[in-house]
Amino acid sequence: MTRSIKGLIASAAIAGFMIASPAFAADGDVAKGEKAYKTKCKSCHSIKANVKRVGPSLFAIFGRKCGTAAKTRFSKGYKAACEAKPFAWDEALVNEYIEAPAKFMTKMAGKKVSSPMRAVKIKKEKRRANIIAFLKTLK
Ligand code: HEC
């Protein structure tokens, strides 16, 4: 009896955890992602290696450590986030970032900061998954 109650509590805790922090698992559509890149990201980001526009190139973004992109002067908020918590971009982080850039950088920095990408808000999960699927092809 006690054991099964414990088991129940444990599985409820696991389920709760999974709801609180969903891992990135969505399968995106590369062609749709490329279209979305063209309308939402291309004005500021090249996909050619080391070509900077307003922001750094998105070529081989996954695994890139924050603050290491070629020729880029990062914003104050980005630098604060990267210093507080050095991270390398993975799918889950890019997913969170392009949903709400200033909110993401504030969370990473541990204090309120802005982002030059604050106007970018890809609200639809499917659309973010498509963009990520496209970005994954750039390597
Ligand atoms: C208005 C211009 C602008 C738009 C539009 C934009 N970005 Fe950015 N992006 C930037 C800038 C500038 C940076 C550098 C971040 C900083 O300094 O805070 C950046 C940084 C990034 C980074 C981190 C790069 C690195 O080397 O750390 C990723 C990933 C990214 N953008 C993805 C995207 C995606 C995907 C889109 C489209 C959905 C997008 N951005 C749209 C301006 C933009």
Cβ 122 vs Cβ 35: under 8 Å: no
CA distance linking residue 31 with residue 23, whole number of Å: 23
Nearest atom in ligand 1 to the alpha carbon of residue 115 is: 18
CA distance linking residue 18 with residue 25, whole number of Å: 12
13 vs 40, which has greater pLDDT? 40
CA distance linking residue 18 with residue 133, whole number of Å: 23
19 vs 110, which has greater pLDDT? 110
pLDDT, position 9 = 54
61 lines ligand 1 (CB under 6 A): yes
pLDDT, position 18 = 47
How remote is the C-alpha of 88 from its chain's centroid? Answer: 10
CA distance linking residue 71 with residue 67, whole number of Å: 10
14 vs 116, which has greater pLDDT? 116
78 lines ligand 1 (CB under 6 A): yes
Residue 77 confidence (pLDDT) above 70: yes
Paired tokens of 100: 């709400």
Residue 66 confidence (pLDDT) above 90: yes
pLDDT, position 110 = 97
